[in-house]
């Protein structure tokens, strides 16, 4: 079964531990350096992405002190990309240099192509890469100037998706740099052309930075820090978000998620909304913002406790894995231990105490890589250095950790689509409503597959009805007692 909704827990005494001891079902690999000497300014917003065990793609910039050869202007030197294969974790390919100059790289991947965003000398650039070879497909596209600010942008973000016809595109967003007035965005197709001749304007007031997430229909979320006092790094209007369809914001007034924020990450839900995680003075929080602008979790979000620099990725439509930097010891730019937990759509956390995955690190990112051989797989990237003087020493190493944990084999009764532990008329109605009337998805797709042919069809409802009222064949196994699915398929079942 693909991406089961709940991770297997063995509820034994001592299941949850802190202070360096890991939950017994989580396997955590040794730390592995994947990129050396990462520039701090770039690394604070470095980006990784991936969809499976073979495609952890990451980008970074190497720092050379201002005034050194090749870096007289004081910018980061070089944009690099590479990939990490979890099935061959100890072997790292040679890194690929994309540009001899630049900083603040971010990367997002689609089916066959990846989009790479970086900043240099007052301009932002986006390039399209072949996802297998990581070679450039074209010359980089420069982010278009805006009438409000000809100096363009800083604090950029990017996300990508694939249209139904297979065309791949990215959504690029940025904050106006010179005037600090407004946040902007535009869609870039995989042939290097922009969708709109003029950028989309997401907000007119001052903003500190911006995050975006989009889906295959050009819908999604934009979030930004409003009205900053740049000297104090405080944000009187708070941390704000809006939902959009292509170039149109859907809410007249943005949703105020929190009073302040110091970092955020977003993942699209594929239907116009998404999940947002952020760090604030009061700790790490998460919120679900739906396409209609309503909140999926309680006001103020679910809190993970003290910490900063959280990152998130989707496990499936109802569960997310989140990593963050733990209790800050010496200030915002210090290193500290890294923690992981798993959030469900009802706001519950899988682990009573989060799992510590590293004793010391800085600015983590996470990629969920899917299910293989009965286990979930994820990769955590983070920075690490020997001292806490992050602002003085810019040579940091980028590390990766592989996580694995077992997929729970959920027990169910075949034909019991509503999971009430019996097969009855309502189960057939649920299947028919879902197939033909846009009804809710059955709680257990495996159970709704009454004939166990790996798909939900009219024949499943017919088999249930024939069994109930005509003495026909019973649903396939497991029936009449609960059991696990012996058939390998992509259908799932909620626990």
Cα–Cα distance for residue pair 431/434, rounded to 1 Å: 5
> What is the number of alpha carbons within 13 Å of residue 307 lying toward its C-beta?
28
Residue 485 confidence (pLDDT)? 78
Residue 180 confidence (pLDDT)? 53
Report whether the peptide linkage leading into residue 11 is cis, meaning its omega lies within 30 degrees of zero: no
Q: How big is the CA angle at 97 (ends 95 and 100), to the nearest 5 degrees?
A: 150
Residue 468 confidence (pLDDT)? 93
Residue 393 confidence (pLDDT)? 43
DSSP string, 23-61: PTT-EEPPPEEEEEEE-HHHHTT-EEE-SSTT-EEEEEE
pTM: predicted TM-score of the whole model, two decimal places:
0.75
DSSP three-state, residue 328: coil
Query: Could you tell me the sign of the dihedral formed by the alpha carbons of 298, 299, 305, 309, in that order?
Result: positive
Residue 108 confidence (pLDDT)? 87
Residue 291 neighbours by CB under 8 Å, 6+ apart: 219, 243, 250, 271, 272, 273
Residue 179 confidence (pLDDT)? 52
241 touches 222 (CB < 8 A): yes
> What is the number of alpha carbons within 13 Å of residue 44 lying toward its C-beta?
16
**Where are any strands of DSSP class E within 131-235?**
141-142, 153-162, 168-176, 181-189, 200-214, 219-226
pLDDT tens-place string over residues 172-229: 887 765 555 678 888 888 888 888 888 888 877 666 678 888 888 888 888 887 654 4
Residue 281 confidence (pLDDT)? 77
Other Cβ atoms less than 10 A from the Cβ of 483: the count is: 14
185: left (phi over 0), alpha (psi -120 to 50) or beta: beta
Residue 488 neighbours by CB under 8 Å, 6+ apart: 1
Mark the ranges of the chain whose per-residue pLDDT is less than 70: 1-47, 51-52, 63-77, 122, 144-155, 163-165, 176-181, 205-208, 226-237, 327-335, 385-395, 488-490, 494-495
Q: Do β-strands 181-189 and 200-214 pair in parallel, antiparallel, or remain unpaired?
A: antiparallel
209 touches 175 (CB < 8 A): yes
What is the overall mean pLDDT for the chain? Answer: 76
Cα–Cα distance for residue pair 259/52, rounded to 1 Å: 36
Report CA 116 to chain centroid distance, whole Å: 16
Q: What is the DSSP code (8-state) at residue 435?
A: H
**Where are any strands of DSSP class E within 269-395?**
274-280, 283-289, 302-305, 308-316, 319-325, 336-344, 355-372, 375-384
């Amino acid at each position: 079964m693909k991406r089961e909704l709940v991770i297997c827990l063995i509820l034994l005494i001592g299941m949850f531990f802190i202070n360096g001891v890991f939950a017994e079902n989580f396997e955590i690999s040794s730390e592995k350096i994947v990129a050396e000497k990462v520039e701090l300014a770039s690394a604070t917003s470095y980006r990784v992405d991936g969809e499976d065990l073979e495609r952890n793609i990451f980008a970074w910039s190497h720092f050379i002190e201002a005034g050194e050869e090749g870096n007289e202007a004081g910018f980061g030197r070089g944009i690099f990309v590479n990939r990490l294969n979890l099935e061959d974790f100890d072997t790292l390919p040679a890194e690929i240099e994309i540009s001899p100059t630049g900083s603040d790289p971010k990367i997002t991947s689609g089916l066959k192509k990846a989009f790479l965003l970086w900043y240099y000398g007052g301009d932002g650039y986006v390039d399209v890469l072949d996802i297998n070879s990581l070679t450039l497909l074209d010359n980089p596209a420069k982010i278009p100037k805006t009438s409000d600010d000809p100096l363009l942008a800083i604090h950029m973000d990017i996300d990508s998706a694939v249209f139904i016809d297979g065309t791949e595109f990215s959504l690029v967003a940025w904050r106006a740099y010179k005037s600090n007035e407004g946040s902007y965005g535009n869609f870039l197709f995989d042939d290097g052309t922009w969708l709109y001749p003029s950028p989309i304007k997401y907000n007119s007031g001052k903003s500190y930075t911006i995050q975006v997430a989009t889906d295959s229909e050009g819908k999604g979320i934009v979030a930004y820090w409003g009205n900053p006092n740049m000297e104090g790094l405080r944000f009187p209007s708070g941390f704000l978000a809006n939902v959009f369809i292509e170039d149109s914001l859907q809410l007249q007034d943005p949703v105020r998620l929190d009073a302040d924020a110091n970092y955020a990450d977003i993942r699209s839900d594929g239907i116009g909304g998404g999940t947002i995680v952020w760090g604030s003075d009061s700790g790490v929080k998460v919120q679900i913002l739906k396409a209609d602008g309503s909140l999926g979790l309680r006001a103020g979000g679910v809190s993970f406790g003290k910490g900063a620099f959280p990152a998130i990725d989707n496990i499936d439509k109802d569960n997310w894995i989140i990593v963050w930097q733990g209790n800050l010891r010496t200030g915002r730019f210090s290193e500290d231990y890294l923690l992981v937990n798993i959030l469900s759509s009802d706001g519950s956390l899988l682990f009573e105490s989060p799992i510590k995955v590293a004793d010391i690190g800085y600015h983590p990112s996470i990629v969920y890589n899917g299910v293989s051989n009965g286990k979930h797989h994820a990769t955590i990237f983070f920075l690490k250095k020997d001292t806490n003087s992050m602002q003085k020493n810019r040579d940091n190493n980028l590390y990766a950790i592989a996580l694995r944990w077992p997929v729970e084999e959920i027990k169910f009764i075949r034909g019991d689509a509503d999971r009430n532990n019996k097969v009855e008329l309502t189960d057939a109605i649920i299947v028919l409503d879902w197939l033909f009337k846009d009804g809710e998805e059955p709680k257990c797709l495996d159970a709704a597959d009454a004939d166990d042919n790996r798909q939900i069809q009219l024949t499943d409802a017919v088999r249930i009805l024939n069994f109930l009222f005509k003495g026909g064949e019973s649903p396939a196994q497991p029936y009449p007692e609960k059991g696990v699915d012996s058939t390998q398929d992509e259908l799932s079942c909620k626990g």
